[in-house]
Structure 1
Amino acid sequence: MNIHPFSHKILNLYSRFFIYFQAILTYGSVRSAARHLRITPSALTRQIQNFELNIGVPLFERHAHGMVLTQAGDILSSHIMVVMEDLKRIENRILALHKIKDEKINIMVIESAANEIMPYVINKITTTYPTIRLQVNTGSSKEIFEALHAGYLDIGVALNLGEPQNLKNIISQPVKMDAIVHTKHALAGKKNITLSECVSYPLIMPSSSLSLYKTIYPLLKNLQENLNIRMESNSIDLMIKMAAAGMGLAFCSRLTTISTQEKEDFIRIPIQNKETRTLLGVYIVKDKQQTYSVNIILQIIQNYLNHNFKSI
C-alpha cells in the first residue's frame, strides 16, 4: 500500500505525540502536562513544535493563561476522541475473549428468523468465538414465549410478543409483509397491493399456531366474511411453494421473503396496509444474569438487523 508523504510523517510521530497532545488538552498548559508526564517542559514543547513543523500548521496558540487549540488542533482533537473510543471498544472485546467460558447457549427462533438471521449468527460465532456452543431450535412465537418462561432458553426470537411480564425485549425490529403469488397470477403485475385486493382470490393461510395468523386473519375477515381458503399450514416454506405452484395467494413477512431464493415461479408484492406490519423481537428473561456469551450473540443479531433491515 502506498502511503502519502504527509501521512507517512504523521505516522512516524503519531504514537508519542498522541500522549503529549492529550496531556496538554487535559492539563491546559505545557508545564502542567510535562509534570504529569515526568518530562521537562522544553522536551514537551519540542515534540509539539516538531509535529507542527511536519504538518505545516500550528496546533496551539500560546497564551499566558495556557494553550488554546487552533482550528487544526481542534480537528486533531476530534480525531483523537474517535481513536480513544475505538481503542476502548477493542480493549473491551479483547477482555471479553478472556471472560468467555466454554458454554452452551440455547436459542429458539421462529422459522423465518432461523432461515434469515441464524446462518449469519452461527457463522460469526463459530469463526470468532469458538468456545461458545449454540443449541438452535425453531418454534412458534407461543412456544418461544413458554420456553423462555420455563427457563429453557437464553434467547428467544419471535414475532409480536410485545412486552411480556418477566421477559425483556432487547431488540425490536419492524417488519413489513408481502403477498406471494405465481408469476402468472392476476395480481403479478402490481408493484404493491392492499388486503382488499387479496380477498378476491384463493388464499393459502398460516395455521393458528403461527404469529402470522394473528396478524393477517382478523384483517382479512373484516374485509370479507367468507374467505376462499385453499390450504392452511404451519410451514412458511410450504406456503411459498404452494403459491409458486399456482395454488393461491400466500402471506409472508419480509423477513421470510428476503431470504427466499426466487428460483421458482413466484413473485412477492409489498402489502400497503400499515396494520400488517409486525415486530420481530429478541427476548431474554428479565431478572436472569446474562453471560458475556449471551451479550455477544445479542450484539451480533443487532448488528445484522441494523445492516439488513434499515429500510424495512
Structure 2
Amino acid sequence: MHIHARALLYFDAIRCDGSIRGAARRLFVDASAVNRQLIQLEQEVGFPLFERLSNGLKLTPAGELFARHTTHVLQDQQWLANELDMLRGVQRGEVHVVGVEAVYNDLLPEVVAEMLGQFPGVRMQASLAGSADIAAFVTDARADVGVAFNAGATSGVTRVAGGEFQIGAIVAADHPLARSPRVNLERCAEWPLLLGSADLAAYALVEAEISALPSAPCVALRSASIELMKRLAASGHGIAFQTRLGLARPESGAQGFAFVPLIDSAGNPVVSDLGVYVRTGRTLPPAVTAFVDCLADVMARHADCGGLVATSAPG
C-alpha cells in the first residue's frame, strides 16, 4: 500500500542506494523519472537535498532533516497497513531485526522459529552488525528492532527489553581451569589469550581487567569473530571470553569446551547487558510488537537456565 506522495518514496530510495540509477532499479522505474521527482522535490523544499559527488549522492543538512521526516512517514504507513490488515483478520506484516553475532546461535533462531509458527503470514529479515552500529540501523529505519550489548543510553532509540549475561572464560574441556567454579583475569593470563576487537561487547569489560594486571599478558589473537575465538579455545589454543549465548548447542563433532564464570579483581561477576531497542516515539506495527514480545519471552526462558537476568522497559 503506497498512500503517500511518490516523491517521498523516490527520495527514500535515493537515500538508501546513494544514486539515481540505483534508486530507479530499486523502484522498477526509469532513472529520468526519479531525477525529475528529485528536482521537483528540491524546488518545493527550497534547498538541495543531496550533494552530487563523483561517487554518488550524499545528503545535505536539509536532506538529513527531510530524511528523518520521510522515515517517520513511511514507518507510519507500514503501521497503518498492518493495522488495516488486523481489522481484516489477516496476520501479516514485516519485521527487520539487526543483532550482534552472539544472538544468532541460540536466541534469535528460537525467536524466529516461534514467530514463524505463530504468525506464518509475517515475513522477517535479519541483519548482522556490531553493538556500536545497531542504534543507527534502528534510527535510520534500516531495521525495526535492534539487539545489542552494552548500548547504554543512545539518542533516538528506546530499550524495551533486555537483561544481563555473565561473561566467562571459554577453555578446552581438558584445560586446567575447566572445572573451576569461577576465575579472574590474573589467573587466565597464565595462558595465551584470545581477545575480541573493540567492536565486540566484551572488549571494554575484559580490557578494564587486563589493564589492572601487574604485567601484560600474551595475546595470541584479536578478532571480531566470537565463533573463531570459541573454536580456537575449544582446541586448546588459548582462552577466550564471551557470554553463554551461542554456547548451549555446540555443533555435532565440535571439540568440547567449558564456560568458567569470570570475576573482577574485587570478586564480582563480570556482566554484559543485552538490550532490545526500537526507535524512540515510534508506534510499533502489530508484527513488530509480536516479535518484541516473543524476544522478551525467549530471553526470560534463557534466564531460567542461568546466566541472564531478564528485564523489560516500564509500561
Correspondent of 1:270 among 251, 261, 266: 261
State the 1:156 CA deviation: 0.2
What residue number does 1:147 align with? Answer: 137
Identical pairs, percent: 23
What residue number does 1:89 align with? Answer: none
What is the CA–CA distance in structure 1 between the aligned matches of 2:90 and 2:152, rounded to whole Å?
31
Structure with greater Cα Rg: 1
Between Structure 1 and Structure 2, the one with more helix by share is: 1
What is the CA–CA distance in structure 1 between the aligned matches of 2:206 and 2:90, rounded to whole Å?
42
What is the CA–CA distance in structure 2 between the aligned matches of 1:157 and 1:224, rounded to whole Å?
36
* 1:198-220 Cα shifts (integer Å, max 9, x gaps): 12221000111212212211221
Correspondent of 1:307 among 285, 301, 305: 301
What residue number does 1:285 align with? Answer: 279
Specify the SS of the correspondent of 1:309.
helix
What is the CA–CA distance in structure 1 between the aligned matches of 2:206 and 2:296, rounded to whole Å?
27
Contact 1:171 1:302 in 2 (8 A): yes
What is the CA–CA distance in structure 2 between the aligned matches of 1:214 and 1:145, rounded to whole Å?
18
What residue number does 2:37 align with? Answer: none
Change (3 A) 1:162 1:233: same
State the 1:185 CA deviation: 2.3
State the 1:235 CA deviation: 0.8
State the 1:191 CA deviation: 2.3
Correspondent of 1:237 among 215, 227, 237: 227
AA paired with 2:299? L
Contact 1:111 1:236 in 2 (8 A): yes
1:219 aligns with 2:212: no
The answer to which structure, 1 or 2, has the higher relative contact order (CA under 8 A, 6+ apart) is 2
Let me know the Cα RMSD of the aligned residues.
2.1
Contact 2:201 2:272 in 1 (8 A): no
What is the CA–CA distance in structure 1 between the aligned matches of 2:229 and 2:88, rounded to whole Å?
46
Contact 2:262 2:269 in 1 (8 A): no
AA paired with 2:105? N
Contact 2:162 2:296 in 1 (8 A): no
AA paired with 1:136? A
AA paired with 1:228? C
What is the CA–CA distance in structure 2 between the aligned matches of 1:219 and 1:174, rounded to whole Å?
19
Contact 2:131 2:151 in 1 (8 A): yes
AA paired with 1:264? Q
**Structure 1: any 5+ residue segments left out of the alignment?**
1-94
What is the CA–CA distance in structure 2 between the aligned matches of 1:222 and 1:147, rounded to whole Å?
35
Contact 1:167 1:286 in 2 (8 A): yes
Pairs within 5 Å for 1:160-175? 160-175=150-165
What is the CA–CA distance in structure 2 between the aligned matches of 1:100 and 1:111, rounded to whole Å?
33
What is the CA–CA distance in structure 1 between the aligned matches of 2:197 and 2:229, rounded to whole Å?
10
Specify the SS of the correspondent of 2:194.
strand
Pairs within 5 Å for 1:106-185? 106-185=96-175
**Structure 2: any 5+ residue segments left out of the alignment?**
1-84, 308-315
How many residues are paired up? Answer: 218
Change (3 A) 1:208 1:103: same
What residue number does 2:291 align with? Answer: 297
State the 1:98 CA deviation: 5.1
Q: TM-score, normalised by structure 2?
A: 0.64
Correspondent of 1:246 among 209, 212, 236: 236
Change (3 A) 1:188 1:307: closer
